[in-house]
Amino acid sequence: MNSPGAGRFAPSPSGELHLGNLRTAILAWLFARSTSRSFLLRIEDLDRARAGAEAAQLAELTAVGLDWDAEPVRQSDRLPLYRAAVESLRNADLLYECYCTRRDIAEAATAPHSLPGSYPGTCRTMPASAHPRRHGRPPALRLRSGVTDWTVEDELHGSYTGPVDDLVIVRSDGVPAYNLAVVVDDAAQGIDQVVRGDDLLSSAPRQAYLASLLGITPPQYAHVPLALNREGRRLAKRDGAVTLESLAEKGWTASSVRDLILRSAGLPAGTLAGALEAFHPAEVPREAWIVEPGELS
């Protein structure tokens, strides 16, 4: 019988972690520890990396009591892994060049019978030599998908079926796309449990399908509710004191922020060890945590 692998938290080093990020990190830690998994960190820095943000985020995670079982890895150090996956897909004739701009795709998405947000397949059916933009921009590489949807099992949402289109595998600037990188990284790190915000649930079918093409077993998913402001939007700096640093200016300690997060998840405050004893995945709240300004005064 195989032993459990690992869970993870994978922030982008673009700025300070806010309450929602910290809540997801704590829940990911609790899911992993409660199932005897290792807990790993991955810095997803292919898109954005602000100077000093990685060190600050690691300090913030430590401040609320989290620990991890290996040195954090960075996507920017893992390009050979992504290239190998791209070559595997290319050798299987599963990639094609795409010259479409975002505007092209947005305009095509307004056509009758098109699926909102999905790629309409323009370059799949049009010879590259015929594309009007082929001389004006380098191509992206898209997956030649063989399905229109895929089903995943989620610990909180149950069976979830979502659309699968010809997703981007390598962007036009040559950078591996997020959906490829996350699938390759999770497999390479032995991650078999992915706990993240439920705004990413719709991407799980695409990633699980891509994993199947690469011979990878998809992880167990648990998409947890987000922390939102009273308007129902994701927390951001515009919502005021929502980071450890800004809350510290109002007299909050890291441990008091941790306790606030634990209470929002229906868990006892005090220590992460105590919360772990009381944690049951089935009892994780299904509704978003609405953070009222007065709660943080």
Does 67 share its domain with 89? no
What's the structural domain count of the chain?
2
Residues 35 and 94 in one domain: no
Weakest mean pLDDT among 16-30, 100-114, 136-150, 231-245: 100-114
The answer to whether 245 is annotated as binding is no
> Residues 73, 97: one domain?
no
- Provide the pLDDT for residue 295: 74
pLDDT recorded at residue 112: 45
pLDDT, averaged across the chain: 91
- The predicted-structure confidence for 75-99, as pLDDT tens digits, reads as follows 999 999 999 999 999 999 999 999 8
Q: What is the pLDDT of residue 120?
A: 85
Residue 16 resides in a domain:
yes
CATH of the domain at 124: 3.90.800.10
Q: Do residues 40 and 100 both lie within one domain?
A: no
Residue 100 is labelled as binding a ligand: yes
**Residue 168 domain flag:** yes
- Sorted by sequence, the CB contacts under 8 Å of residue 118 that are 6+ apart come out as 109, 163, 165
Question: Is 9 marked as binding a ligand?
Answer: yes
pLDDT score at 236: 74
- The boundaries of the domain holding residue 150 are 79-181
Find tokens 């898209």 and name the residue. Answer: 142
pLDDT by residue (tens digit) across 220-238?
Answer: 999 999 999 888 888 877 7
Smallest Cα–Cα separation from 164: which of 103, 125, 117, 228?
Answer: 117
- Whether residue 245 is contained in a domain is answered as yes
Q: What is the pLDDT of residues 195-220, one digit of tens each?
A: 999 999 999 999 999 999 999 999 99
| Residue where a domain terminates, one of 127, 146, 181 | 181
Q: Does 12 count as an annotated binding residue?
A: yes
Domain co-membership, 118 together with 162: yes
pLDDT at 133: 64
| 213 occurs within a structural domain | no
Q: How far apart are CA 149 and CA 153, in angstroms?
A: 14
Residue 250 lies inside a defined structural domain of this protein:
yes
Q: Angle CA(121)–CA(152)–CA(288) in degrees, nearest 5?
A: 100
- Final residue belonging to a domain, choices 129, 159, 181: 181
Report yes or no on 219 lying in a domain: no
**Tens-digit pLDDT profile for residues 159-191:** 999 999 999 999 999 999 999 999 999 999 999
For residue 11, say whether it is annotated as part of any ligand binding site: yes
* 157 and 250 belong to one structural domain: no
Q: Which pLDDT does position 113 carry in this prediction?
A: 44
**Where is pLDDT greater, at 284 or 51?**
284
pLDDT at residue 132 in the model: 64
Q: Are residues 68 and 87 in the same domain?
A: no
* CATH code: domain of residue 27: 3.40.50.620
CA count, 13 A, side-chain hemisphere, 73: 19
Domain check: are 229 and 239 in the same one?
Answer: yes
Q: Is the pLDDT of residue 240 over 80?
A: no
Do 13 and 23 have their domain in common? yes
Q: Which amino acid makes up residue 161? A: T
Any known ligand binding at 8? yes
Write the CA distances from 29 to 164, 200, 214, integer angstroms: 29, 18, 27
**178 belongs to an annotated ligand binding site:** yes
First to last CA, the chain: 50
Please give the pLDDT value at position 137.
77
Per-residue pLDDT reduced to its tens digit, 243-287: 999 999 999 999 999 999 999 999 999 999 999 999 999 999 999
Residue 105: predicted pLDDT: 79
Residue 96 labelled as part of a binding site = no
| Top-ranked range on mean pLDDT: pick from 44-58, 97-111, 244-258 | 244-258
Share of the chain above pLDDT 70, in %: 91
pLDDT at 1 (0 to 100): 41
Q: What percent of the chain has pLDDT over 90?
A: 75
Buried b (16+ CB within 10 A) or exposed e, 268-282: eeeebeebeeebeee
Residue 217 included in any domain: no
Q: Is 196 annotated as a binding residue?
A: yes
Pair (57, 86) in one structural domain? no
119 is in an annotated binding site: yes
Its pTM stands at 0.92
Judge if 27 and 118 occupy the same domain: no
On whether 293 is known to bind a ligand per the annotation, the reply is: no
Does residue 207 lie within any of the structural domains?
A: no
Q: Are 176 and 100 members of one domain?
A: yes
